[in-house]
A and B are shown apart, each in its own frame.
Chain A
Amino acid sequence: MTRTPLRPLARILSARAAGENPDVIERENLAQRHEAMRTRTRGRAEGRLLILGFAFLAAFGLIGMRMGALATATAAEPQLASSGTEILAQRADITDRNGRILATNLMTNSLYVQPKDMVDPARVAAELAQIFPDLDAAALERRFTDGRSFMWVRKVLSPEQQQQVHEIGDPGLLFGPREMRLYPNGRLAAHVLGGASFGAEGVDSAEVIGTAGVEKALDARLRDPAQAGAPLALSIDLTVQAATQEVLEAGMKMMNAKGAAAILMDVHTGEVLSMVSLPDFDPNDRPQPLLTGDPGDSPLFNRAVQGVYELGSTFKIFAVAQAMDLGLVNPETMVDAKAPMYWGKFKINEFEGHNYGPLLSVTEVIVKSSNVGAAHIAMQIGGLRQQAFFKSLGLFDATPVELVEAPGAKPLIPSKWPEIVTITTAYGHGMSDSPMHLAAAYAAIANGGLAVKPTLLRRDAPLQAERIMSETAARAAVSMLRQVVTRGTASLGDVPGYAVGGKTGTADKPKPTGGYYKDKVVNTFASMFPTNDPKYVLIVTLDEPVETSGPKPRRTAGWTAVPVAAEIIRRTAPLLGLRPEIELGAPDGLVAVNN
């Protein structure tokens, strides 16, 4: 049994003693204690109610202020929280070797619609079709009203178009900022740059990705956030590129060629200073690839890198240079050049049935471009050593230039190498290479025998290169090439002061069905200048040229590619900083007077 203490004990005891009822006292005491406790809790509750009241006042005040802040904030275009990774814009610029812009970015706007917000889809469709004539009003209206909530209309807009769209004034038409790739030089260096298009697209930005050329080959570098803003410097010299393109285009028209290519390369570093392929295109508005016919006829086709041709007599210098390097011959050695030459069932002729034999010096083999002489020299070298030399020149592999097209442009090499192949490749038939291959191989001869890796990126110093022939042999070969110009097949190629040397090549085009065309040739002039200390190699290739100024059409490189190359050298050598070495004649009867 629990006992409750009697309170107040003293009074209860005395009341008991007095015989009174102590319960009354106890009740009274209880009431008093109760009263006191209530007073205490009331005081406490009063404070707490005030706290609550204050808290509510503060909370309502906060909501009111927040409402006020929201209501007075300027309404912004609602931004959709982008999901996933942010689209990285800001592609690096591409410049030429001197920092002049070849490719940059331009802020513009894309146009999209949110048909749910559209007031009058029919009117919007009609007005859009007026601004963009390639849009069809009926089709647009159908798509605006088929319940979709979002639709792209245009990826990029010109400022004028944007203003016109603004003037339609429909709330369902919205613009998203777009960074587009711009090639301010238009068609210049189009094949080098390639082009770019949009990848992943969001409302706020779109990814720009390369579609061809350097833009695609170096896409990762151009989009690398770590190098954001650092422009990519190419080896191209914009001025030289422009001059080359201009001359080559004129030459191509003059020689009635359907295509042309030119490569100008620094022989020490392998840098490509200009690379032109014609016909070309504007990378700002890249044409669609051809769906039918020969892709080689598309302007997108880069003849300088992708066009693999039998490059003809330009190859003869390789056999001669190798033979001299191996000590088999020297420039004065007489070799058998009796034409026609028979090898098994094959008959090897000279051009137009000439016969330069029975014996010809090695120098004359080059100067006169003797197929038979070159064949005999190659047979002395032998197939194995010839293949090894071609490989060291880089003629067996795809070129390493930084174009996405380059790795696909593999040379066409015979799978087996019987002696007849040794003979035909000595004068450039039986294997096909691109002008870029030829430029690198000629650069190796021109620089004194060091292998060259062509590049489109600016290199400030020559790379450590492997020696592939002795310097003496290379010098002797250069001297022979000089003589081709001074007294041989390329006499139209001489440019006063620049000591041009080079070798012509005329190859019949193969028919797709087998055999060769009689009247379709590829003319090549592989040249270097100045030959006393070669600095640059220039390759000019014309596709199906014909020179018609004479009584009968001429299709040899000496008449077509050589004069074009000469004009290019005349125009570009000063731009390259070469000083012409002209022997000053006596002033004609005038005496300089110093007043």
Chain B
Amino acid sequence: MTEMVYGSMPARVSEPVLPRWWRTIDKWSMTAVLALFGIGILLGLAASVPLATRNGLEPFYYVQRQAFFGGLAMLAMLGCSMLSPAMVRRLGVAGFLVAFLALAALPVFGTDFGKGAVRWFSLGFASVQPSEFLKPGFIILTAWLMAASQEVNGPPGRSLSFAIAIVITGFLALQPDFGQAMLVLFGWGVVYFVGGAPFALIAVVLALVGGAGFVAYNGSEHFARRIDGFLSPDLDPRTQLGYATNAIQEGGFFGVGVGEGQVKWSLPDAHTDFIIAVAAEEYGLILVLCIIGLYATVVVRSLLRLTHERDPFIRLSGAGLACIFGVQAMINMGVAVRLLPAKGMTLPFVSYGGSSVIAAGITVGMLLAMTRTRPQGQMSDILFQRGR
């Protein structure tokens, strides 16, 4: 009684942050992401040495850089995953605004590093690719607008988010960066699809995407050459794809052995776009299947967990984040095995690249925040016979 009166009973207003986080987080997905990051460092030990040699740096310079940025990315991921969905929404939308301004400023302040596309801000010690950070923010914003539009008397979220998507796509196409533009459109499409797009409209959107592809094919020589290369049945062994295919064949089941691979010396993008070829050559099909399995784990588990989610915003943003994460990995690996036309796209967490890995950390962190276990009102369903 005394304790009751004087309040010496521990007043558990709410559970502490960390235990609750640990209790509710999707530990399998998080483990898979950590494993992917580990594999990325492991492959970087092999794949980035030629680049460091070419640039006259010490052999593992890029591994150290990647470990540093990767560490930041892991911190970002853990930090994001601890946020509440409402906080994710606020930070995501704010981040989107910053990234969008950065993207819009690219034509003025950006640099192309001699690669023919103005995608980066050079900060001296590192470079930032705003489009990488734009994607998760854009998904959050889209999910927010879509969810709001589902409310009774809600805003016209679909049209608004679609207009934003078109504007972003336009900026990305200006760089040109059709890969990121496609990802943005794809992410919007996923959110809209999960949010209840009519199937007829989906067909129309697919047709529009096809038309845009056709225009890009005819308008951009860079784009047309890649598509032509994909459609041609012959494989020129001196192209990146030729080397990549050869490397996968060389690797076989168990690879040629750690450090024994040759493809990393021939491929200029061995440490980014074609890192899966390095993995296949040195560690064989086993590691490649592991990598594919890890990505599939993250994406499919997240989507399955989201099916129980009642909050439309959480559901939509989670689905969008999981899908852009998964589709990026899918495109990267699909290109290496010639299932898809050549398109420069990094393999999240595995490829070298500071912007890429940090953005991937933020994306997955937000995703983990969305897929955390929450009370979903099952009891009220049972008690009040609602929600049937």
Residues of A within 8 A of B (CB): 30, 33-35, 37-39, 41-42, 44-46, 48-50, 52-53, 56-57, 59-64, 66-68, 70-75, 78-81
Contact indicator B315/A45 (Cβ below 8 Å): yes
How many Å from the CB of B139 to the closest CB on chain A? 14
Residue of A nearest to B305 (CB): A49
B101 on interface, CB distance cutoff 8 Å: no
Within 8 A of A (CB), among B189-234: 190, 193-196, 232, 234
A5 vs chain B, min Cβ distance (A): 13
- Interface contact B152-A30, CB-CB below 8 Å: yes
Chain B residue with the shortest CB-CB distance to A67: B288
Among B19-27, B48-56, B169-177, B243-251, the stretch in contact with A: B243-251
With A37-B150, A66-B337, A80-B237 as contacts: A56 and B303 at CB distance below 8 Å: yes
In the complex, A59→B331 CA distance in Å?
Answer: 10
Partner of B330, one of A39, A63, A73: A63
- Give the shortest distance, in Å, between A344 (CB) and chain B (any CB): 79
By the criterion of a CB under 8 Å from any partner CB, how many residues of chain B are at the interface?
A: 55
The 10 closest A-B pairs by CB, nearest first: A78-B237, A81-B234, A53-B303, A75-B249, A71-B285, A60-B296, A66-B337, A70-B248, A46-B307, A49-B307
Q: Does the CB pair A79–B280 fall under 8 Å?
A: no
Using A49-B319, A63-B292, A78-B246 as known contacts, say yes or no to A56 and B326 having CB atoms under 8 A apart: yes
The smallest beta-carbon distance between B30 and chain A, in angstroms, is 18
Inter-chain contacts of B12 with A (CB < 8 A): none
27 examples of A-B residue contacts, CB within 8 angstroms: A33-B152, A35-B386, A35-B387, A39-B387, A41-B196, A41-B312, A44-B196, A45-B194, A45-B195, A48-B193, A49-B303, A49-B319, A50-B304, A52-B193, A52-B323, A53-B304, A57-B296, A63-B292, A63-B334, A70-B248, A71-B248, A71-B251, A71-B284, A71-B288, A72-B253, A75-B246, A81-B236
Cα of A474 to Cα of B109 in the assembled complex, Å: 102
Min CB distance A270 to B, Å, is 51
Task: Tell me the complex Cα distance, A25–B315, Å.
Answer: 30
Name B's interface SS: helix
Chain A residues whose C-beta falls within 8 Å of the C-beta of B242 in the assembled complex: 78
Q: Which residues of A contact B387 (CB under 8 A)?
A: 35, 39, 42
- In the bound assembly, the distance between CA atoms of A72 and B338 in angstroms comes to 16
A44-B196, A56-B300, A68-B285 are known contacts. Are A73 and B249 too (CB-CB below 8 A)? Answer: yes
A81 B235 Cβ-Cβ under 8 A: yes
Q: Is B295 in the interface zone, CB < 8 Å from A?
A: yes
CA distance A59 to B238 in the complex (A): 28
CB within 8 Å for A56 and B299 given contacts A37-B152, A70-B249 = yes
Contact A56 B337 (CB under 8 A): no
A44 to B199, CA, bound (A): 12
B13 interface residue per 8 A CB criterion: no
Partner of A53, one of B289, B299, B316: B299
Contacts of B249 in A (CB 8 A): 70-71, 73-75
Q: Assuming A44-B196, A78-B237, is B319 touching A52 (CB within 8 A)?
A: yes
Question: Is A38 in contact with B306, judged by CB distance below 8 angstroms?
Answer: no
* Bound CA–CA A39/B384 (angstroms): 14
